[in-house]
Amino acid sequence: MSDVGICVLLCGGFIGSFYVWRRERTFALSCLKDLQVASTFEPCCFESNNHTTFRNRLISFTGYTGVSLLLLEYLLRKEGTDNTPRGSSAVVHQLLCPGGDVKRCLSVTAKSALATLFLFAGPLLENGAYVFHEDEGIFVLRNLVVCPIGEEVFFRALLLHILLKRRSVMFSVFTSSVLFALSHSHHIFPIVVDEYQNGKQEEKERNDAQPMYWVRALKKLTPMYMCTFACGLLTGYYYSVCTNKNLLATIITHMLCNFIGPPTFRFITSNSCSHRLCYGGIYSSGVVGWLVMLRNVQKPLTGWP
């Protein structure tokens, strides 16, 4: 089997781990068979912020992340290309603290985080204090800690390790980013049920209308696909090119992306020309600052054995 095929299967297992739970699996199958039946399920079945749903997915997500770490540890040790001390972890030695240089690892992590803040200067200033608005604590834990760590371990450390053996950096980062975006497809089930329930109030119910709700749900999911794909490209580029496979740097970057959120570009629709010029300049300056900082991130890695 090709390396891409292996990555697709691993990604399928990653998504499928959410459906080891009978309630989650039954709800998803009901959506595929009949939206009218799926709409009768309790709200906790299709609300991602429900505590029971959160608990089940956290267990699945954490378990699969653990399996990914074990597989990555095995692959790194099988290669035997580094000087990992006996009894220590190859993942820690090669990816969390490359070369065993803690100071350099932290320096690269800090500089890559600063570069990301420059890149998101526009959204930060445009959204203002709203970026600090979040849900209750457990969901902050999910968005800013659990997901960034688990997703970077799986999609960057593991999948890129498999792909980069035979593929170019560009192809590997692109492929892992596509898989990362598609891994969010499970969100379509609650969205399509919501569309169905809203549609019932607006138009007469018809059995042949159900595909229309799937189309609407897919349209609503498209921005999420685009944002997660862009996040995958950014962290994949950091991991493969800028930080010499520094996993900690990509985790921090992912946390920042989730915290700040995607750029809204609301300033474009402003009636004030000066407002548009001001924020356009901030967005542009942020990109320039990001490019400059990336050069500084790479400098310490020049000539690194």
Is pLDDT at 205 greater than 60 in this prediction?
no
Closest residue by Cα to residue 237 from 257, 217, 211, 219: 257
pLDDT of residue 86: 63
Take residue 261 and report the two structure tokens written for it: 């959120």
CA separation (Å) from 20 to 55, 104, 123, 225? 13, 41, 38, 24
Is pLDDT at 44 greater than 70 in this prediction?
no
110 pLDDT tier (thresholds 50, 70, 90): very high
Task: Pick 105 or 255 by higher pLDDT.
Answer: 255
pLDDT of residue 83: 62
pLDDT digits (tens, 9 = 90+) for 64-99: 999 999 999 999 888 765 566 665 777 877 777 776
Is pLDDT at 303 greater than 50 in this prediction?
no
CA atoms within 13 A on the CB side of 299: 9
Chain centroid to CA 76: how far?
A: 23
Residue 37 per-residue DSSP state: H
- Residue-level length of the chain: 305
Per-chain mean pLDDT for the chain: 85
304 pLDDT tier (thresholds 50, 70, 90): very low
Chain centroid to CA 256: how far?
A: 11
Task: Name the one residue in this structure whose structure tokens are 């310490």.
Answer: 300
Burial class (CB in 10 A: 0-12, 13-18, 19+), 298: middle
301 pLDDT tier (thresholds 50, 70, 90): very low
pLDDT digits (tens, 9 = 90+) for 211-233: 889 999 999 999 999 999 999 99
Cα–Cα distance between 305 and 296 in angstroms, integer? 18
142 pLDDT tier (thresholds 50, 70, 90): confident
What is the pLDDT averaged over residues 99-105? Answer: 78
Take residue 98 and report the two structure tokens written for it: 């490359």
Q: What percent of the chain has pLDDT over 70?
A: 85
> 155 and 180 in contact (C-beta within 8 Å)?
yes
Is pLDDT at 208 greater than 70 in this prediction?
no
Burial class (CB in 10 A: 0-12, 13-18, 19+), 157: buried
Q: How far apart are the first and last CA of the chain?
A: 33
**Number of alpha helices (DSSP H) and beta strands (DSSP E) in the chain:** 15, 0
Residue 85 per-residue DSSP state: P
Please report, for the chain, the start and end positions of each structural domain, with discontinuous segments joined by +: 3-79+103-301
> Mean pLDDT lowest for which of 62-66, 123-127, 169-173?
123-127
Burial class (CB in 10 A: 0-12, 13-18, 19+), 196: buried
What is the pLDDT averaged over residues 177-206? Answer: 84
> Mean pLDDT lowest for which of 56-60, 69-73, 130-134?
130-134
pLDDT of residue 305: 35
